[in-house]
Amino acid sequence: MHGKAASLHDGPLRLFHLSDIHFGLEDRRALDWAKACIEREKPHAVAITGDLTMRARHPEFRAACAWITALDVPVTVEVGNHDIPYFNLYERFFAPYKRFKAIERLVESQLDLPNLAIVPLRTTTRAQYQRFPWSNGWVTDHALDQTLAAIDALPAGTRVLVAAHHPLTERRADGKLLTINGTRTMEVLAGRKVLGILSGHVHDPFDLTEQTPAGPLRMIGAGTLSLRIRSTPPSFNEIIIAGDSVQVKARNLEKVPTPAMQIDAVPENALPPRQPQEPVAPVATVPPVDPPVH
């Protein structure tokens, strides 16, 4: 049933937005719980906004693909910076998605639900001449054109959510470059009146509205289901769409309320905050050190 539309109905749509599972460093307890929620509650769709693996290794992909293909709901999967082979440069440049073989029809696939489309936007690149390492986002002109073409091909009046791995924030408050071409992309998507953009990468949830010259843009981030937590326990987003209203709940096993889970500024990456001024959610479950990856 992957990739197919849910049955037609007029009621609210419910999505589960998962991100940064990072097989290789997955939180098994959180992952089992998320899977049980999906099986029991049967959301209309699941959007997974990238970083399926920790090091893009074959066993990590096998585990990720097995977990995802067992989900009996429509699924779309974005590609994260951790999912591009890092050590095998031939694969990185010439066959970066080869290891997604078992779920290739779900990768960057558009989901068409009743009067709602989830449209992918690629933010991960094989190389970035502007900087190294290449872990942050870059919306290339080609990637943006593809997303806009998909949106413009939808029947008039279709509601749109865009799914990407990196938040689109282009610069941190201190000017550091985050997602290249993010500002322009946000403005163009706001001009298309999308309901919001779903992303991952920073491992803390957020629900922010950015003002652009073309109008407001809702930016919805999901936390992680891995052990590599930043400042909040593992979580996923439940998103309810009714008409043009979008409600976001950051669900977690610890039952921490959503406002205490969400950060109010987009950090640079998923690393636990080390400086006092770095954005931290109120719950602030900051690990002393990152868990080792074996």
The footprint of Fe ion (CB under 5 A) covers 20, 51, 80-81, 201, 270
135 and 126 Cβ atoms separated by less than 8 Å:
no
Q: How far is CA 245 from the centre of its chain?
A: 20
Closest to Fe ion by CB, 106 vs 270, is 270
DSSP one-letter string for 38-83: HHHH--SEEEE-S--BSS--HHHHHHHHHHHHT--S-EEEPPPGGG
Closest to Fe ion by CB, 26 vs 51, is 51
Closest to Fe ion by CB, 81 vs 125, is 81
266 and 231 Cβ atoms separated by less than 8 Å:
no
Closest to Fe ion by CB, 81 vs 231, is 81
Closest to Fe ion by CB, 75 vs 270, is 270
| Residue at shortest CB range from Fe ion | 51
The single-letter code of the amino acid at 99 is: R
Residue in this structure with the two tokens 């010259």, named with its chain if needed: 213
Closest to Fe ion by CB, 74 vs 267, is 267
Torsion, Cα 132 134 138 140, to 10 degrees, reads: 90
Residue 134 CB, shortest distance to Fe ion, in Å, is: 11
Residue 172, both tokens: 């941190």
Residue 50 CB, shortest distance to Fe ion, in Å, is: 6
Residue 270 CB, shortest distance to Fe ion, in Å, is: 5
Closest CA to 11 of 250, 240, 197: 240
Closest to Fe ion by CB, 74 vs 200, is 200
Give the length of the chain. 294
Lateral strand order in the sheet of 196-199 = 111-113, 116-120, 159-163, 196-199, 215-221, 206-212
Residue 199 CB, shortest distance to Fe ion, in Å, is: 9
Residue 260 and residue 271: Cα distance in Å, rounded?
Answer: 19
DSSP conformation class of 81: G
Residue 64 CB, shortest distance to Fe ion, in Å, is: 13
